[in-house]
């Protein structure tokens, strides 16, 4: 039906009534929530890219009034102007003030930019118990008003960091409210996870463990990135000598855009937020998928390099292309979704999957025999002019649930314990209303999460080793038979 409407649109202009009907049928709305400095700055990069993809000027004017693809993320008002379905919240004013005075200052609704007077001081307890409580009602009320403007709201996409006080504490508080008010709607997160070596906040392990513990039951899926992996991608693959946060945020935006393409344009997989949970999450607690993107081609090499579909897919299994520092070869896959966009031949995808399976180097858990889920969207990738990525004909984002991520949780628990063993900085949290016993409860919960991943990996490893032993035994028997026949 969508294709017939598009053919009609090529011949004549659709009336507003028909356009409204199309939106109601195909455009289920999504609300973006950007929390804390990291969430707001990543959000600014995302909306910059969304506007380029949908032909929206920085002042919110839609270049093509009959464009029906922007309804999921933008609310169209009178005069051809659109407003993002987004709410930005920070306990301090500086990051959002940059939005208010920046290039896209006329794009956002003024009441959707919510700021406090003092920050959370990189303290989970301040964001969750003290300062955050003063702003939670205002934030939830503004989200309610944005939700009331939606015809068929499907869920929320939340951007934040695990390490900051606002990103960790206030997000946990907000998710409690969203779960209470919108229990059946999907809540998907894109979060900046503590990097192995780079850490701008000394109490980052505390905040990350507390927020993971608090949000375990209130979020559906959480896609994690870390700055160290992003820095390495920019420096080694994109030839950026001194990456800034702007470079990192635009890279994240490119990945988010690839993952949400089918939410906005016609696609075959993950066309609704709930499909991320359905396709990726086997158990409620195991909801931290890995994210990989390809290709990483800088503008200086764009005229000399081109990647086939097979090369794109093989790049997705390289640790250097991952958004978090862990090696997927040291774990087992529970699910894997490959989201293609642009000039893609589905036959090439099928042949490449057959080739990958024949390599026997990618392990899946024994109870997940389906393997790969493929989504193809023919909307070509868009890049920011003057950015770090070259214009591409095709791109792919791979989201996979792998037991290899347990390494990141084990690393976080170790850092947490090193500080807590000396009771370092504990008084800052207790003074803001957090009980000291919560330190032990939170750490135990994250250790249990790591053990959950380890148990899944153990089952898969046993199965994989058994298959390898059988393969070797069969080959050995065949070789012996050939030797005997040759002797006779």
Rounded Cα gap, residues 297 and 315, in angstroms = 12
Rounded Cα gap, residues 136 and 116, in angstroms = 11
Say whether both 283 and 426 belong to one domain: no
Range of the domain at 40: 2-409
How many beta carbons lie within 10 A of that of residue 53, not counting itself? Answer: 19
Say whether both 67 and 157 belong to one domain: yes
Say whether both 288 and 427 belong to one domain: no
Say whether both 424 and 405 belong to one domain: no
Domain final residue pick, 377, 409, 441: 409
Rounded Cα gap, residues 57 and 65, in angstroms = 12
Are the C-beta atoms of residues 459 and 366 closer than 8 Å to each other?
A: yes
Q: Where are the alpha helices (DSSP H) in 197-267?
A: 204-215, 227-232, 245-264
Are the C-beta atoms of residues 309 and 244 closer than 8 Å to each other?
A: no
CATH of the domain at 356: 3.40.50.1440
10-residue block means of pLDDT along the chain (488 residues)?
A: 39 39 63 98 98 93 72 86 96 96 95 95 96 97 97 97 97 98 96 91 97 97 97 95 95 97 80 90 96 94 83 92 92 93 90 84 82 88 93 94 96 97 97 96 97 81 48 38 30
Say whether both 336 and 440 belong to one domain: no
Q: Where are the alpha helices (DSSP H) in 199-244?
A: 204-215, 227-232
Say whether both 481 and 386 belong to one domain: no
Say whether both 251 and 222 belong to one domain: yes
Say whether both 243 and 390 belong to one domain: yes
> Of 98, 228, 266, 275, which is the active-site residue?
275
Domain final residue pick, 356, 385, 409: 409
Domain final residue pick, 388, 409, 430: 409
Say whether 275 is catalytic: yes
Task: Report how many domains make up the chain.
Answer: 2
Are the C-beta atoms of residues 305 and 297 closer than 8 Å to each other?
A: yes
Say whether both 351 and 244 belong to one domain: yes
Express each pLDDT in 101-112 by its tens digit. Answer: 999 999 999 999
Are the C-beta atoms of residues 154 and 28 closer than 8 Å to each other?
A: yes
Say whether both 208 and 302 belong to one domain: yes
pLDDT of residue 158: 99
Return the ∠ at Cα 83 (arms to 78 and 86), rounded to 5°: 150
CATH of the domain at 430: 1.10.287.600
pLDDT of residue 104: 95
Say whether both 382 and 430 belong to one domain: no
Say whether both 306 and 344 belong to one domain: yes
pLDDT of residue 142: 98
Q: Which of 264, 161, 154 is nearest to 220 (CA)?
A: 154
pLDDT of residue 12: 43
pLDDT of residue 463: 53
Q: Whole-model pTM?
A: 0.88
Q: Which of 151, 267, 207, 270 is nearest to 35 (CA)?
A: 207
Rounded Cα gap, residues 167 and 171, in angstroms = 6
């Amino acid at each position: 039906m969508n294709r017939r409407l598009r053919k009609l649109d090529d011949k004549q202009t659709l009336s507003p009534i028909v356009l409204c009907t199309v939106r109601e049928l195909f455009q289920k709305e999504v609300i973006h929530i950007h929390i804390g400095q990291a969430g707001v700055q990543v959000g600014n990069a995302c909306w910059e890219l969304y506007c380029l993809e949908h032909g929206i000027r920085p002042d919110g004017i839609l270049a093509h009034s009959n464009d029906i693809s922007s309804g999921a993320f933008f609310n169209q008002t009178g005069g051809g102007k659109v407003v993002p379905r987004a709410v930005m919240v920070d306990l301090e004013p500086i990051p959002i003030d940059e939005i208010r005075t920046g290039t896209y200052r006329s794009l956002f609704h003024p009441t959707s930019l919510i700021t406090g007077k003092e920050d959370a001081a990189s303290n989970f307890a301040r964001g969750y118990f003290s300062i955050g409580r003063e702003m939670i009602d205002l934030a939830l009320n503004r989200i309610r008003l944005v939700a009331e403007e939606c015809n068929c709201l499907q869920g929320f996409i939340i951007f934040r960091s695990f390490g900051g006080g606002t990103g960790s504490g206030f997000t946990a508080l907000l998710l409690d409210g969203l779960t209470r008010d919108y229990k059946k709607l999907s809540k998907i997160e894109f979060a900046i996870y503590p990097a192995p070596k780079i850490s701008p906040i000394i109490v980052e392990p505390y905040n990350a463990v507390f927020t993971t513990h608090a949000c375990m039951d209130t979020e559906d899926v959480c896609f994690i990135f870390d700055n160290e992996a992003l820095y390495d991608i920019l420096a080694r693959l994109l030839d950026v000598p001194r990456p800034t946060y702007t470079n990192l945020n635009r890279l994240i935006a490119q990945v988010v855009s690839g993952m949400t393409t089918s939410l906005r344009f016609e696609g075959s997989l993950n066309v609704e937020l709930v499909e991320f949970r359905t396709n990726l999450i086997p158990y409620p607690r195991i909801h931290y998928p890995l994210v990989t993107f390809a290709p990483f081609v800088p503008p200086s090499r764009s005229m000399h390099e081109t990647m086939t579909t097979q090369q794109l897919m093989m790049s997705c299994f390289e640790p250097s292309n991952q958004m978090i520092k862990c090696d997927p070869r040291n774990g087992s896959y529970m699910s894997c979704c490959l989201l293609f966009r642009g000039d893609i031949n589905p036959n090439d995808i099928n042949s490449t999957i057959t080739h990958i399976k024949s390599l026997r180097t990618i392990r899946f858990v024994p109870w997940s025999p389906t393997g790969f889920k493929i989504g193809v969207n023919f909307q070509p990738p868009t890049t920011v002019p003057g950015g770090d990525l070259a214009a591409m004909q095709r791109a792919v984002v791979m989201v996979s649930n792998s037991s290899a991520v347990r390494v990141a949780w084990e690393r976080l628990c170790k850092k947490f314990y090193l500080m807590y063993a000396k009771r370092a900085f504990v008084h800052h949290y207790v003074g803001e209303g957090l009980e000291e016993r919560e330190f032990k409860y939170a750490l135990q919960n994250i250790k249990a999460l790591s053990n959950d991943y380890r148990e899944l990996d153990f089952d898969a490893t046993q199965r994989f080793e058994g298959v390898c032993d059988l393969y070797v035994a069969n080959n050995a028997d065949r070789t012996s038979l050939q030797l005997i026949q040759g002797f006779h």
